[in-house]
């Protein structure tokens, strides 16, 4: 632990529930509406004028924890379908820009419908429909991001056969003009359909992007409860990347967001020879599985039931007691020896007050294995935003030998509707 006497760094705050857990109304008013107004996570491609009528209906129904996820999800469907139909008309009229925006705005509604994870029938429906409109919207961009289905050639046991990803290769890339590649590992609730927002910034710098989900989320084929399944998935992914002639194989960087950061810490060690460097933003590795932490995390910073969502994601279904009992022995990167293996250049960034994954995990990482770089952002919570991006981007640019402007880059992220 980072604090004395074996305590978490934020030990004194663990027993204080966040106000947004009182009801969906509280969540919207105290946490989500300002983010929706800005068009940033988790409202990428979303806007308040689309969401407000839906939110009003949810508040009218007085939805709150524990949520009926089917009842919750279906509140978003009418508006999402309305936007998708309007997008189809715009596409038929030849207005690609308008169609793209409306498809993506529909995808934002479907995303929040299946948030934080598609654990019910209607949330799974929302994920499938959200993928359809996101692919259409991104495909109509001036610089489209397309889906690639990567064969999982190293699959074993219950693994799936394909790793779907969203991929963008700059128009200037070729065999004679190879470009760097940024691989983004998505998180617990943000999938490739929304982390596609990062494509544009990297495109302007001449970098390709590949965005994939992590086991237990989205369409990742890795068996969720098998701690070694990601190693096989990433081996298949790197085999596919090696066949992309326009990618500079010496300039591949991985960036893991939140829960994706757990997998980035792991891949930095398991596939060190395939990566120029790895960034972990808001990730964990060991203490994130501590039963004491899991007992409190459902009521802290995360919008919904974090610990139970992680239980589902890691393959334990709804058996939370089993998850608490077995997760650390099964998934801890300290207990399985991962942290003592050789690793590539690794940057750890997070806020010291993170209530999703304890900053204590980064402190642990620095005590084991090869030296690593770290930046802790004081008095910030999960992922240390917004300062974290001003640290990470220049670090990657220096690593890849490219020039960039953080203000210009970050200006590509917020969504502002035109239509």
User: Catalytic residue positions?
Assistant: 258, 354, 382
Look up tokens 């990601």; give the residue.
Answer: 230
> How many whole angstroms separate alpha carbon 114 and alpha carbon 142?
28
> How many whole angstroms separate alpha carbon 260 and alpha carbon 283?
7
> How many whole angstroms separate alpha carbon 97 and alpha carbon 75?
27
Burial (CB count <10 Å: 0-12, 13-18, 19+), residue 347: buried
Instruction: Estimate to the nearest angstrom the gap between the alpha carbon of 406 and the chain centroid.
Output: 21
Give yes or no for a contact between 301 and 293, defined as CB atoms under 8 angstroms apart. Answer: no
Give yes or no for a contact between 285 and 265, defined as CB atoms under 8 angstroms apart. Answer: yes
Tell me the sheet residues that pair with 375.
349
> Which is nearest to 314 in space by CA: 325, 302, 299, 304?
325
Give yes or no for a contact between 240 and 183, defined as CB atoms under 8 angstroms apart. Answer: no
Question: What torsion, rounded to 10 degrees, do the Cα atoms 193, 37, 204, 196 define?
Answer: -10
Give yes or no for a contact between 342 and 272, defined as CB atoms under 8 angstroms apart. Answer: yes
The phi-psi region of residue 258 (left if phi > 0; otherwise alpha if psi is between -120 and 50; otherwise beta) is left
> How many whole angstroms separate alpha carbon 25 and alpha carbon 64?
8
Q: Residue 30: helix, strand or coil by DSSP?
A: helix
DSSP string spanning 265-311? HHHHHHTGGG-SEEEEES--SSGGG-HHHHHHHTTSSSSS-HHHHHH
Give yes or no for a contact between 147 and 165, defined as CB atoms under 8 angstroms apart. Answer: yes
Q: What is the DSSP letter of 174?
A: B
* Helix (DSSP H) and strand (DSSP E) numbers for the chain: 17, 8
Give yes or no for a contact between 78 and 53, defined as CB atoms under 8 angstroms apart. Answer: no
Strand pairing category for 208-212 and 247-257: unpaired
**What Rg do the C-alpha atoms of the chain give, in angstroms?**
20
> Which is nearest to 384 in space by CA: 412, 411, 414, 349?
349
């Amino acid at each position: 632990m980072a604090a004395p006497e074996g305590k978490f760094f934020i030990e004194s705050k663990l027993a204080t529930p966040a106000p947004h857990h009182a009801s969906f109304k509280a969540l919207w008013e105290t946490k989500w509406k300002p983010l929706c107004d800005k068009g940033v996570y988790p409202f990428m491609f979303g806007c308040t004028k689309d969401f407000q009528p839906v939110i009003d209906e949810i508040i009218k129904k007085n939805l709150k924890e524990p949520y009926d996820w089917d009842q919750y999800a279906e509140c978003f469907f009418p508006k999402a379908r309305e936007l998708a139909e309007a997008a189809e008309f715009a596409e038929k009229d030849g207005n690609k820009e308008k169609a793209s925006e409306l498809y993506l705005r529909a995808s934002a509604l479907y995303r929040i419908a299946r948030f934080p994870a598609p654990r019910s029938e209607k949330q799974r429906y929302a994920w499938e429909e959200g993928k359809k409109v996101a692919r259409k919207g991104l495909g109509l961009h001036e610089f489209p991001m397309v889906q690639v289905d990567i064969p999982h050639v190293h699959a074993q046991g219950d693994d799936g056969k394909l790793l779907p990803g969203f991929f963008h290769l700059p128009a200037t890339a070729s065999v004679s003009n190879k470009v760097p590649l940024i691989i983004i590992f998505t998180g617990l609730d943000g999938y490739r359909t929304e982390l596609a927002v990062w494509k544009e910034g990297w495109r302007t710098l001449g970098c390709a992007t590949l965005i994939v989900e992590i086991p237990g989320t989205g369409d990742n084929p890795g068996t969720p409860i098998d701690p070694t399944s990601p190693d096989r998935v990433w081996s298949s992914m790197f085999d596919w990347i090696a066949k992309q002639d326009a990618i500079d194989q010496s300039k591949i960087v991985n960036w893991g967001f939140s829960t994706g950061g757990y997998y980035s810490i792991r891949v930095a060690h398991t596939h060190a020879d395939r990566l120029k460097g790895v960034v972990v933003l808001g990730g964990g590795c060991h203490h994130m599985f501590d039963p004491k932490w899991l007992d409190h995390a459902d009521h802290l910073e995360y919008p919904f039931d974090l610990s139970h969502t992680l239980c589902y994601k890691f393959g334990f279904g709804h058996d939370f007691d089993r998850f608490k009992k077995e997760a650390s022995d099964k998934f801890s990167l300290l207990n399985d020896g991962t942290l003592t293996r050789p690793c590539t250049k690794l940057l750890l960034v997070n806020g010291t007050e993170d209530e999703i994954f304890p900053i204590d995990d980064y402190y642990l990482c620095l005590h084991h294995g090869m030296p690593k770089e770290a930046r802790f952002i004081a008095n910030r919570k999960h992922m240390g935003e917004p300062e974290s991006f001003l640290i990470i981007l220049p670090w990657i640019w220096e690593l890849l030998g490219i020039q960039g402007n953080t203000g210009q880059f970050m200006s590509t992220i917020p969504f502002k509707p035109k239509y």
